[in-house]
Structure 1
C-alpha cells in the first residue's frame, strides 16, 4: 500500500547561484506555504482510510469505575473501539524520560482531557458520534493543583506505587525532579551586601499555539508492520516509544515526516502516534487522526507555569554579591521533559551575570494540571523573567542606569557559571546591551499626524478605545542566556547521508537526514552546506524518515549545530572519496593531485591556488559516492544531584532586547511599539532565516508578556480556555517593529562557528516588555502575562 504524504518527495535546490554558507537563500517550500499549496499532515489522504477519534476524560482526577463501549461498537460505520484492556502488549506506558504516561487511561485519570478510549470509523463525524456514545463512570478524587496540595503530609499521590524513578534527593513522590545548585557561601556573601532585594514571581502556562494541529496517517504494511506519516519533532524518539507498545520490532515501524505546521516543543512528546497505529493494526486499514483546536489544547504538553522566589544582594558600587532562589515548576500529570526543564531552570537561574555565591533550588511537581514539557526556551524563560526583574529592582535601589548596572555585572568569555563550568566561547553580554541601547528610539506620539489620530498605533488598536488620553510611554531592557543542545551527559548526536553523482549531465548532491523540518529552515541550511563543501549547485533534500540514522530532536536550538555538523562531516568524507578517485585516475599525470590542497568549487576540482584540475562531472562519470556518518559535539556531564556542579552544557547563546511600550493607564491597555534585539549568532549561515528566527522568538516572548495564558480552574484543574477565542496569541496587529542587530563572534567548537539562535530571543523579550510597562506605570508587576486589571488595580 502507499500513501500520499504531507512531505514533498524530494526538494531540489539550485537555480544557477552558488547559495552557500553565509548567503540569504530562500526556502524551497516558501512559495508553497505562502500560497496555501503546501501539503501539511492534516492534508494526507488514502483511498480506503478510516478516521480515528479519541475520547478524553471530562474530569481531572478520578477513578474509572466502568467503561461501556457497546453502543459505540454498534454504531454503523464503526470498525473498532479500543480501551486500555484492548492494548496488544504488556508495555502500555511511554514517556520521553520517564515512562509514566499510559497509552489509554487505566484505573484512573490524572488530568482533564486524558485519552480514555479510541475509535475508528469510515467518516470523521461517525467516529466523533461513536466516541460520544462511550459511557465512562468516574469516582472523583481530590485534585492536586499546587505545591501546598502536592507535598502536604496527607497529599494524594498523582502516581501511587511508582517510586522507581525517584532518587534520594527528591523529597516527595509528587515531586518529579529536584536540582540544587550551590557554589560559594551565599549566606556569608549576603552579610556583605549593601542592598538586598527580594521578589516572588509568577509565570503563566503558555501554549505552543502552532497553527497546524496534531495529525498523522498510519498505514498497515503487508509484513505485519505499520508505516506512520506524522508531523513530529523527533522521528526516532517516537519510534523508540511506540514500538514496544505496538509489540513490533523497530524495523517494522516505519516513519516518514509529513508537513509540519509549527512545533515549538509541543510535538516533542507523542500525541496521536500510537493511537493511529493501534487502530490501523486492529482494523487492517489506514487510519488518519486529525485533532481540532479544542483537542490540540489537551493533546500536547505546554510551558511549565512557575513560581519563583528570588533574593539578590549588591554592594553600593553595583557589584552583585549573592543569589538565593527557589524555582517551583508545575509539571502537571506526567513527567514529559520536566527533569531536563528543571536542569535548565536551575543551572541558568543566575542569568548572564557573574555571581560567585549562589544557593539555588529548582523542583518540578506532579499535579493534576495539564502536562507540561518542552517549549521554546525550556526552563530558561521562566528564570529570565525573574532575574531580569531583580536586576531592575537593584538598579533602582542603587540609583543606577539599568543598562549600566547589567553591563557592570555581565559575564564574558572565561567567566565561571554557578555549576562551575567555564564559559569558553565569546559571551558578549555587555556589548549586546550597548548595541541594543544605541538603536534609535521610535518617534514619540506616532499615532498623531496632520490627518488626525491613527488608532491602530494606540493601545486598544482598532477597538477605538482611546485617542491618546492617559497614554504613557515606557522603555525597558533585558538580556538572557540560553544553553544550546541537549545537556547533562545526554549522548547528543545526529546522522546524515550524503550522495554525490552525475544526473542529466550535472553533479548533484543528495542529503538525507531524519531532521524534522518544523519551520526552522534546516532544509535550506543543509543545501547551503552541501553547496559550500562539495562545490555543486544542485542539491536535493530527501524527505526525513527512519530509513536513515537519528537526527535527534528539532529542539534546544540544536539542529543547525548538530545535524548541520553531521551534513558537513558527511560532505567532507564524500569530498575526500571524490578526490581519491581523482588521485587514482589523474595523479600520475599532474603532480598537483598529490601535492596541493584540493577543493571542490563551481563544479570543478581546483587547487587552493585556483588552478582547475578537472570538471567534477568528468571526474565522477558513472561513479556514485555516498557516505552516512554521525557527528557529536563535545561531551557534557550530569549535574551533581546535591551541589549542581558539572560541565552540563555544550554552548550558550545570548540575546538582549529593548522594549518600547505605550500604556493607557486608565484602561489597562498596552501597545508594544518596538522590540529591538541584538544577538550573537556566531555565524549567520542564512542571514534572512536567522533574522526570521529572532523575530519569531521575540513575538512568542511578547505573547506571554501581555496576553497568552492557559487558565486552569484551581478547584477542579479543568482548562477554562481551550480555543483561540479565549487563548489569545499575537496577530500582525499586535506585533511591533522588531529591528535586529546581528553580532557574529565565532564559537571555535561549533561547525562554522555558529550558535543556536531560535530560543534566546524568547527569553529576553518577555522581561523587556514587563520592564517597559513598569517604567510607564510605576507598578511592580511580578506576574506574566500582565492583564488590564493588573494595571488599573481593579482586582
Structure 2
C-alpha cells in the first residue's frame, strides 16, 4: 500500500497534459509482455559463452577442435576471430571482447559457440580445451595498490584525473574545502562497510542478432543506451556505425546493470560468421557474472561540530572495489566523494576517494551510483553526533541543512531548487503508526512466514535519514538527447526517440509531452532504435524524464513551426536538447573548474519503523514514510512507483542483499541464495511529494528514481540501531550482528 500526498494537497495538477496510460502495464501483469528473451527469427541459431573458471590466469592455449566436430555446431570463435577492435568499454576501452592472453575475473568470456539448439551450444562450449596458468589474484581492495598491476597500461590515465602512480588505481580523488585542520568542540568517527549488490532485474541478459545480407547487422537487445552500445559494437565488428543498428527489445528491469555490454558483440560476431540469426539468453548464474554490480565500499568518516550542533569540519576516506575493468567506476567514485558530506552545510572538509581494480566481479552503475554508500556512512555519523550532543537527530539535520546559495565541498554554489529543510520537516511530520498489540499473526512479526517467534524478543525502533544526489550527467559530460517528430497530413504525428523504456514509464512521459505540445492525442511512439533518430543518452542518472521531455518539447515546437512555413504539408523534424553545461573537477583540489559540476540535485528523507527480534536476529520493516523533492511531478503514479521501487532496493541492501565472493567467485549466484525482498518484506510506504520546480529543467521536472535508494538503506539501519542499541556499521546487517554471537 502506498499513500501519496503532495506539498500542495492530495491532488496534483498535471502541468503538461492528461497522463498517458502505459501500454506495457497490462501485458506485464498478465504475463504476455515480450521480453528480449522471447525474441525469435526464422532459421536462428543459439549462442553460448565459454567463461573463465579462474579469477586471474594466463591463457596458454585454446583448442576449439573438439567443439567444431560436435553435432549442430556452426561456429566456435575466439579472440583471433574478432574482426575489428579487440577491446571495448563503456567509458574506457579496457575489456577484451574475448580473453586474449589472460583472464581477469571469474566468468570472463573466453570463446563463443553457435549451434542449432541451446543444449548443443552449451555442450560444445564445454568441449573447448583451454589451458590456463593461474596467477595470484588481487582480491582485497585494501592491498590492491601494493600488488602487481592488472592493467599496466593504466587505461584511465590522462583523462583529467588526479595522477596516482600506485598500481591498480582506477581513479583517486582529493576534495579540499576550506581548512580541513579546523577542530570542533565534539568529534565522532566510525568505519563503515557495504557489500556488493546485484541489480537483480527480472529479465537476464538476452537478445537476437540478425545479419542484413549486406555485411551489416541488426541487434535486438534489452539495454539502457542504444547509441553507446552501437559505438562499442561497430568498431569490434570492423563495421561503420550505420551498418550496425541497435533496437530496443523488451526490458525486464535495468537499474544500471544494462549500461555495459553483455552479449551484443558476441551474438553479432556469431551471426555475421554464420550468416544466420543468433539468439543468446543468459541463465541466472551467468547473469550474475555477466553484468556489473554495485561497488562494495569501506568508508571512514570523522565529523566535528560545535556544542550547539553545527558541523565545523568533516573528513571522509572512501575505498571502492571496482573489480576487473573500469566500466563507470571513475564517475561512481566521483559521486561518492562529491556527496560524501550529505545535504549539509560544511565549511571545511577533506574527502579522499579511491577506486581500485581487483580480480573480483566487475562493478559499475547501479541505482544511486556512489551516493548510496556515502549516505549510509554519513547518516550514521549524524546519528552518532546527535547522541553525543544530546540533540534530536531530526533537529540536528535541520540545523545543518544546505539550501540554495550555499556552497558544496567542490566549490559549486547551489542554484535552482533543493528544498532539503522542507523535505526533512515533511518526512518527520508523517505520523508513525501505533505499535501492534501482541499476540498477533506471526506473518506480522520478524521471521514472517517462518513462524519463528511470538514476539518475546521483539523491540521496536524508529530511524531517520536524508540524502541527495545529482540529476543528469556531470563533470563536463556532453549530455544531450535527440527527438524526431513527423507531422502527417491527416493530423496525426509519429514520435521517434532512442530513450530506453526500462520499466520506468518514459514512453508515456514522452507521449504526454508531445500530445500537449502538438495539441492532439493522435501521436504514436515509434520503436526505439539507432536507425531512425539520434542518441537519447542513457536511461540512468535520473536523467531521462528531464532530457527526453526537453528534446520532445523542442522537436514538437520546431515541427509546428516547420508545418506553418510549409503550408500544412507533412514535415519531419529532429532536434537535440542539452541541459546547461557542467565542468570537471580540479585534479589536485577537487574544486569545480567552472560554474557547476552537477546541473541539478534532488533530495529525499525517510522515517522508518522496524521491529527487531534481538534473540533471533530477525528484522521486519513495519512502515516507511518518505518525503521527496520531485521538481514537478508529471505523472504521480510513476513518481510514487519509483519511490516505492527505489525504497525496496534500499531495504534489500539493508537486510539481505549481498553478493558473496570467495577468491573472486560469486558463490551465491542464484535467487535461491542471493536473497531479495518479496512483497511480504515490503512495508506500507507513505510518500509526500515536495514540488519545487527546477528552473533549468523542462516543465520544472526532476528525475526521481535514485534518491529513495540513496536514503532507504541508511534509514532502515538507523531504525535497527534504535531498536537494538548496536552500532550496526555494515550493510546488509547480518543476524549475528544483532544477536551479538
Same fold (TM over 0.5): yes
Give a deviation string over 1:638-657, Cα, whole Å, max 9, x none: 11111111121111011001
Q: Which residue number in structure 1 is paired with residue 712 of structure 2?
A: 765
Q: Which residue number in structure 2 is paired with residue 644 of structure 1?
A: 590
Q: Given the alignment, which residue of 339, 344, 348 partners 2:339?
A: 348
Question: How far 1:19 moved relative to its partner?
Answer: 8.8
The reply to whether residue 253 of structure 1 matches residue 244 of structure 2 is yes
Q: Which residue number in structure 1 is paired with residue 635 of structure 2?
A: 686
Q: Which residue number in structure 2 is paired with residue 10 of structure 1?
A: none
What's the TM-score once normalised by structure 1's chain length?
A: 0.89
Q: Which residue number in structure 1 is paired with residue 263 of structure 2?
A: 272
Q: Which residue number in structure 2 is paired with residue 428 of structure 1?
A: 419
Q: Which residue number in structure 2 is paired with residue 204 of structure 1?
A: 195
The reply to whether residue 136 of structure 1 matches residue 121 of structure 2 is no
Question: How far 1:538 moved relative to its partner?
Answer: 2.0
| Preserved contact between residue 563 and residue 570 of structure 2 (Cα < 8 Å) | no
Looking at structure 2, the residues matched to 334 and 351 of structure 1 have their Cα atoms a distance apart, in angstroms, of 28
Q: Given the alignment, which residue of 472, 476, 481 partners 1:489?
A: 476
| Preserved contact between residue 411 and residue 591 of structure 2 (Cα < 8 Å) | yes
Question: How far 1:572 moved relative to its partner?
Answer: 1.3
Q: Which residue number in structure 2 is paired with residue 533 of structure 1?
A: 517
Q: Given the alignment, which residue of 730, 737, 741 partners 1:783?
A: 730
Looking at structure 2, the residues matched to 252 and 314 of structure 1 have their Cα atoms a distance apart, in angstroms, of 60
Q: Which residue number in structure 2 is paired with residue 598 of structure 1?
A: none
Looking at structure 2, the residues matched to 36 and 45 of structure 1 have their Cα atoms a distance apart, in angstroms, of 18
Structure 1, 260-269 or 155-164: larger mean CA deviation: 155-164
Q: Given the alignment, which residue of 700, 705, 722 partners 2:654?
A: 705
Q: Which residue number in structure 1 is paired with residue 59 of structure 2?
A: 64
When residues 163 and 338 of structure 1 are mapped into structure 2, their CA distance, relative to the original with a 3 A threshold, is closer
- Spell out the pairing of 1:54-133 with structure 2 (5 A cutoff): 54-89=49-84, 91-133=85-127
Question: How far 1:576 moved relative to its partner?
Answer: 2.4
- Spell out the pairing of 1:225-240 with structure 2 (5 A cutoff): 225-240=216-231
The reply to whether residue 676 of structure 1 matches residue 659 of structure 2 is no
The reply to whether residue 747 of structure 1 matches residue 734 of structure 2 is no
Question: How far 1:700 moved relative to its partner?
Answer: 0.6
Query: Which segments of 5 or more consecutive residues in structure 2 lack a partner in the other structure?
Result: 1-12
The reply to whether residue 458 of structure 1 matches residue 445 of structure 2 is yes
Question: How far 1:24 moved relative to its partner?
Answer: 4.3
Question: How far 1:691 moved relative to its partner?
Answer: 0.7
Structure 1, 19-28 or 199-208: larger mean CA deviation: 19-28
| Preserved contact between residue 203 and residue 783 of structure 1 (Cα < 8 Å) | yes
DSSP 3-state at the match of 1:227: strand
| Preserved contact between residue 162 and residue 173 of structure 2 (Cα < 8 Å) | no
Q: Which residue number in structure 2 is paired with residue 546 of structure 1?
A: 530
Looking at structure 2, the residues matched to 20 and 642 of structure 1 have their Cα atoms a distance apart, in angstroms, of 44
Looking at structure 1, the residues matched to 287 and 128 of structure 2 have their Cα atoms a distance apart, in angstroms, of 21
Structure 1, 163-172 or 96-105: larger mean CA deviation: 163-172
Looking at structure 1, the residues matched to 707 and 725 of structure 2 have their Cα atoms a distance apart, in angstroms, of 27
Structure 1, 377-386 or 21-30: larger mean CA deviation: 21-30
Question: How far 1:173 moved relative to its partner?
Answer: 2.8
| Preserved contact between residue 98 and residue 165 of structure 1 (Cα < 8 Å) | no
Q: Which residue number in structure 1 is paired with residue 545 of structure 2?
A: 560
Looking at structure 1, the residues matched to 15 and 616 of structure 2 have their Cα atoms a distance apart, in angstroms, of 51
Aligned residues: 723
When residues 317 and 698 of structure 1 are mapped into structure 2, their CA distance, relative to the original with a 3 A threshold, is same
Looking at structure 2, the residues matched to 22 and 434 of structure 1 have their Cα atoms a distance apart, in angstroms, of 31
- Spell out the pairing of 1:285-684 with structure 2 (5 A cutoff): 285-445=276-436, 448=438, 453-503=440-490, 507-547=491-531, 548-580=533-565, 620=568, 623-646=569-592, 647-684=596-633
Looking at structure 2, the residues matched to 712 and 122 of structure 1 have their Cα atoms a distance apart, in angstroms, of 35
When residues 753 and 288 of structure 1 are mapped into structure 2, their CA distance, relative to the original with a 3 A threshold, is same
Looking at structure 2, the residues matched to 137 and 312 of structure 1 have their Cα atoms a distance apart, in angstroms, of 52
Question: How far 1:25 moved relative to its partner?
Answer: 3.6
Question: How far 1:124 moved relative to its partner?
Answer: 0.4
Q: Which residue number in structure 2 is paired with residue 157 of structure 1?
A: 149
| Preserved contact between residue 303 and residue 311 of structure 2 (Cα < 8 Å) | yes
Looking at structure 2, the residues matched to 654 and 639 of structure 1 have their Cα atoms a distance apart, in angstroms, of 22
Question: How far 1:162 moved relative to its partner?
Answer: 4.2
| Preserved contact between residue 24 and residue 687 of structure 1 (Cα < 8 Å) | no
Looking at structure 2, the residues matched to 146 and 24 of structure 1 have their Cα atoms a distance apart, in angstroms, of 50
Looking at structure 1, the residues matched to 95 and 303 of structure 2 have their Cα atoms a distance apart, in angstroms, of 39
Looking at structure 1, the residues matched to 268 and 166 of structure 2 have their Cα atoms a distance apart, in angstroms, of 36
Looking at structure 1, the residues matched to 559 and 61 of structure 2 have their Cα atoms a distance apart, in angstroms, of 61
Question: How far 1:236 moved relative to its partner?
Answer: 0.5
DSSP 3-state at the match of 2:482: strand
When residues 213 and 576 of structure 1 are mapped into structure 2, their CA distance, relative to the original with a 3 A threshold, is same
Question: How far 1:157 moved relative to its partner?
Answer: 1.5
Question: How far 1:453 moved relative to its partner?
Answer: 2.2
When residues 779 and 23 of structure 1 are mapped into structure 2, their CA distance, relative to the original with a 3 A threshold, is farther
Question: How far 1:147 moved relative to its partner?
Answer: 3.0
Q: Which residue number in structure 2 is paired with residue 174 of structure 1?
A: 168
Question: How far 1:529 moved relative to its partner?
Answer: 0.2
Question: How far 1:428 moved relative to its partner?
Answer: 1.2
Give a deviation string over 1:557-615, Cα, whole Å, max 9, x none: 0111112110011111122234446xx7xxxxxxxxxxxxxxxxxxxxxxxxxxxxxxx
DSSP 3-state at the match of 1:739: strand
| Preserved contact between residue 17 and residue 516 of structure 2 (Cα < 8 Å) | no
Question: How far 1:169 moved relative to its partner?
Answer: 2.2
DSSP 3-state at the match of 2:142: helix
What's the TM-score once normalised by structure 2's chain length?
A: 0.96
DSSP 3-state at the match of 2:488: strand
Looking at structure 2, the residues matched to 404 and 164 of structure 1 have their Cα atoms a distance apart, in angstroms, of 43
Give a deviation string over 1:413-467, Cα, whole Å, max 9, x none: 1111111111101221111111111111122025x4xxx6211111000100011
Q: Given the alignment, which residue of 29, 34, 38 partners 1:34?
A: 29
Q: Which residue number in structure 2 is paired with residue 738 of structure 1?
A: 685
DSSP 3-state at the match of 2:27: helix
Question: How far 1:500 moved relative to its partner?
Answer: 2.0
Question: How far 1:163 moved relative to its partner?
Answer: 5.7
Looking at structure 2, the residues matched to 33 and 509 of structure 1 have their Cα atoms a distance apart, in angstroms, of 27
Question: How far 1:96 moved relative to its partner?
Answer: 1.2
| Preserved contact between residue 25 and residue 688 of structure 1 (Cα < 8 Å) | no
Question: How far 1:70 moved relative to its partner?
Answer: 1.2
